[in-house]
Structure 1
Amino acid sequence: MRLVVLGGGESGVGTAILGKKKGYDVFVSDFGKIKNNYKEVLALNKLAWEEEQHTEELILNADVVMKSPGIPDKSPIIVKLKEKGIPVISEIEFASPFTDVETIGITGSNGKTTTTMLTHHILKQGGLNMGLAGNIGKSFAWQVAENKSEGYVLELSSFQLDGITKYRPHIAVITNISPDHLDRYNYNYDLYIAAKFRITMNQTEDDYLIYDDDDEVIKNWLENNKVKAKKIPFSLSGKNKKGIYVKDNTIVSNIKKGEFTMPINELSLEGKHNVKNAMAAISVAQLKNIRKKTIFESLTNFQGVEHRLEKVLKIQNVEYINDSKATNTNSTYYALDSMTAPTVWIVGGVDKGNDYNEIMQLVREKVKAIVCLGVDNSKIISAFSNVVDVMVETTSMTEAVKIAQKMAEKGDTVLLSPACASFDLFESYEDRGKQFKAAVQNL
């Protein structure tokens, strides 16, 4: 069996290692450059690879192809593979048959990283040896090859879910759905929604689907489509007493016998969206029979996620916050919503089809000045020029931070929450966040 892996990053290299271990003839091909650390791993494992090209005669003879999530279906090599009827799957689909342990799959437009990490944190505190993978950390396939975990908590993007046919999580979580990555779905929101719901398509009556019952898109889809899994809703209102909800500023869960309650002000994470992330994580923990005391303690000591509303420094009584992980308007909505001081907002990058009307009201209320940080800022300028008095265009993080510092007065907040992808000026949202933190530390 010939396995061709397209993309020599984390998921690609992990898949190649697992494939070789399971007896496949493996070839890795990357249209860009492969990072040196991955080249070393490929060499160490005696795996064949190429970079900066896709040699068709070495790819079109595959029995199965694993493509990295970053490669669009429109790319010429994928089109040719599909014309030949060669299966093109995601890392999650390739790796899952090689493990017997159960997985918890978490998806959503926003909040999935925080929810995944929080869930993993609680289960680990509860004594379970769980792997953490998907969009985070060491790839799922790589961990399956090492076979050291009794289960996995997976953060799953719509791109990873596009590439599954049989993958079935025992517990699936959908944190929320809002327009994102529409450039990859022919600007058709319904296609993107359908991609997210693939997470539950193979689930049975023995499995669970945890979802946001306040989310109109999710509710609408569930009303019009059948789901076999047991449904567990979470909600900020107490209307649906079935799953987990908020009453008198307290989270109340009836998932297991004997109520679990937790006052919202005890959570280590701030903001309404994090109450929802916490409810999703509590639901999983209860299904996994983690003790209430452990759940409570884990929620009070969780440190949060880097680049997600991360407090960097306070300088001359101005708070600097790194929310580089906000790559769409919905994510930035949560960030602006949790601001309590006048805000200098650093925004911009590669627009993935944003509708800035969604955050217009919050920008009016919270934002005193905008610093644009992107190659093309025209859409941001036309959206907000009548709303905010001061707007400045910049092309580097150092410049953006220095200008933001000049605009900010005592008691203000400087917020990096770009609402866009990072690839015009940065390698990734992590790179963008790290550059922001370094620039703030140099002030």
Structure 2
Amino acid sequence: MAEKVVILGAGESGVGSAILAQKQGLRVFVSDLGKIKDKYKKILQQYRIAFEEGKHSEDEILKADLVIKSPGIPEKAPLVKKLREMKVPVISEIEFAGRYNNAKTICITGSNGKTTTTLLTYHLLKEAGLSVGLAGNVGSSFAWQVAEKDFDYYVIELSSFQLDDMYQFKADVAVLLNITPDHLDRYEYKMQNYVDSKFRVIQNQTPDDFFIYCADDPVIREELKKRHIPATCLPFGWTEAPENGAGVKGDNIIINWKQNTFTMSIFDIALQGRHNTYNSMAAGLAGMVLKIRNEKIRESLADFKGVEHRLERFLKVHGIEFINDSKATNVNSTWYALECINKPIVWIAGGVDKGNDYNDLKDLVGKKVKAIICLGVDNHKIREAFSGIVPDIIETQDMKDAVRSAYYLAKDGEVVLLSPACASFDLFENYEDRGRQFKTAVREL
């Protein structure tokens, strides 16, 4: 009898896993506690895959030989606890797809910048003419592509939640951009647990694999002292480039790999700002080890068109610039946004707090922010952190109200910045929904 696979969550990753499992001759059952989106329901029906929505039938689920769970379901969910007690293997979509994948994988993680770096790396490989898929937190489901496509490479963005349920999977090229406190609510508020999660990106690597990491990140530096890394290590940072790795000299980024040196002015890179220079070095290094020609790397770094909802300079209304940085769901992302704007800012912030410490922002906020518009169900932590630093702090409960309030407070030559530093789930479906509502509200001014 074929193995029984239960998939918890019927979003992009769950439905992709179901298709791959069915293709492998496994018995599949999909269960979603919420309502399944119509487009996914149609696909499950089309493939004749058994599913349920609005509930989890425990008697059915606990009979599974293998459970693939959505990264959004926390470890402390009662059903997950029961499965663990019964020693039923619970894995992620990426782990499952990895079992059937023969393509090379470039896996990118970090607290900030991973979507930008993933899309940039994908752009670079695609422009170089490689057969490449985009998966993980962006693009289509990895499992779905493994089931139905035949790529030679995958560029995969990995969140810590996905990494937590990965065991045998191996990245051929692992990229670790930075580690700053994020999602600590999922890690018992212990930073080391979160650090360990991020470092899972290099598990199972061999001397034939590559580990690209930011040498300027203090948490990564400390962690490397404790670990033996079998892969070839390629650091990048804001210092002179090592023999194998990347760095900055004057106004140029330099990337060295096996006697090949790549040089490019930081002013010619499409993505401006210090954090984006890091992202570009990481993507460039990945390109170098995959033997992409220097000219192609240069072209791709120069013509890449950023990421929607990430420091997206969206529109000017009566001289006021509106910037959509809805993707900034933690303090560190917002720090980057505030740091790279050199005009007075009306800052729209708030949402679901993930254990945020706003102390790191106080200095920048004091220098640059003239007013804060709180946009969340509970804004007391933002008010507490910045009252006395910013003269105007205004409470709002919906995007239209927030945008209108910001517009009245901003003047010609100033910036309205949506950079929430929080998750979006109190008032919005996700950060994309929040960003789209922001853009709609700005258009209606």
Report the TM-score, using the length of structure 1 for normalisation.
0.99
Letter in 2 for 1:318: I
Q: Secondary structure at the match of 1:376?
A: coil
Q: Secondary structure at the match of 2:260?
A: coil
- 1:33, distance to aligned residue in structure 2 (A): 1.0
> Is residue 221 from structure 1 mapped to residue 223 from structure 2 by the alignment?
yes
Q: Of 358, 361, 383, which aligns to 1:359?
A: 361
For residues 239 and 262 of structure 1, do their structure 2 counterparts lie closer, same or farther at Cα, with a shift above 3 Å needed? closer
* Cross-structure match for 1:184: 186
* Cross-structure match for 1:340: 342
* Preserved CA contact (<8 Å) 1:256 1:286: no
Letter in 2 for 1:400: A
* Cross-structure match for 2:268: 266
* Preserved CA contact (<8 Å) 1:210 1:234: yes
Q: Of 430, 438, 442, which aligns to 1:440?
A: 442
**Stretches of 4+ moved more than 3 A in 1?**
239-242
Q: Any residues of structure 2 matched to 1:10-409 within 5 Å, and which?
A: 10-238=12-240, 240=242, 242-409=244-411
Letter in 2 for 1:181: H
Distance 1:386 1:240 in 2: 45
| 1:61-107 superposed Cα distances (whole Å, 9 cap, x missing partner) | 10100000000000011011011100000001000111111101000
* Preserved CA contact (<8 Å) 2:212 2:235: yes
Letter in 2 for 1:321: I
Q: Secondary structure at the match of 1:143?
A: helix
* Preserved CA contact (<8 Å) 1:201 1:227: no
Q: Secondary structure at the match of 2:29?
A: strand
| 1:376-411 superposed Cα distances (whole Å, 9 cap, x missing partner) | 000000000111011100001000000100000010
> Is residue 2 from structure 1 mapped to residue 7 from structure 2 by the alignment?
no
Distance 1:297 1:126 in 2: 10
Distance 2:101 2:46 in 1: 24
- 1:237, distance to aligned residue in structure 2 (A): 1.8
| 1:97-144 superposed Cα distances (whole Å, 9 cap, x missing partner) | 111111010000000000000000011100101100000121000000
Distance 2:13 2:59 in 1: 23
Q: Secondary structure at the match of 1:313?
A: strand
RMSD after superposition:
0.8
| 1:159-191 superposed Cα distances (whole Å, 9 cap, x missing partner) | 100001100010000010000000000101100
Report the TM-score, using the length of structure 2 for normalisation.
0.99
Determine what percentage of the aligned residue pairs are the same residue: 56
Q: Secondary structure at the match of 2:99?
A: helix
Q: Which runs of 5+ in 2 are unaligned?
A: none
Letter in 2 for 1:253: I
Letter in 1 for 2:23: K
- 1:360, distance to aligned residue in structure 2 (A): 1.0
Distance 1:375 1:297 in 2: 45
Distance 1:190 1:237 in 2: 27
For residues 195 and 56 of structure 1, do their structure 2 counterparts lie closer, same or farther at Cα, with a shift above 3 Å needed? same
Distance 1:215 1:85 in 2: 37
- 1:291, distance to aligned residue in structure 2 (A): 1.0
Q: Which runs of 5+ in 1 are unaligned?
A: none
Distance 1:315 1:153 in 2: 38
Q: Secondary structure at the match of 2:316?
A: strand
Q: Secondary structure at the match of 1:26?
A: strand
